[in-house]
Amino acid sequence: MKLESLKEQVTAIIELSTQEARVKMQEICDLLQDQVSYYDWVGFYMAHETEPTLHLWSQAGEPTDHTIIPFGKGICGQVAVSNKNFVVDDVHAQDNYIACSIHVKSEVVIPLFKNGKNIGQIDIDSNTAQAFTTADERFLEWVNEQVGTIL
């Protein structure tokens, strides 16, 4: 499967000793958005250290105005509170959805943990309805585990 084949490239990015974590995270966003046809927007939101907000650190795809998201607002904000994966098959059916693009039809958000604490998340938007499967969740959990090692 294509997702599994990307693990080697993600690992190579993580292991680059000359780059800062944020640069590596950008490279992972670029890789995933480029290589997975239904990953139309990929971003990492990181929790602010003292305020209940998420801040966009890196992203690939169309630019977004949503660079700061309060905890509890939108899918990302809900994951910051729940600490659980959130797969949305139809974003238009969600009352608490923050629209980033009129083209987005589904979304997956996976929390990123460091020492048991939710410090951020990877957020993927797709212009395809019902785009994400359990395989995507497991793969993105793995990606977040790798990213957690460099933060």
* Predicted local distance difference test score (pLDDT) of residue 1: 54
pLDDT, tens only, 79-113? 999 999 999 998 777 766 666 667 889 999 999 99
pLDDT, tens only, 12-65? 999 988 889 999 999 999 999 999 999 999 999 999 999 999 999 999 999 999
Domain 2-148 belongs in CATH node 3.30.470.20 = no
Which parts of 28-145 are beta strand (E)?
41-47, 53-60, 68-70, 86-88, 106-114, 117-126
Helices (H) and strands (E) in the chain, counts: 5, 6
pLDDT, tens only, 62-80? 999 999 999 999 999 999 9
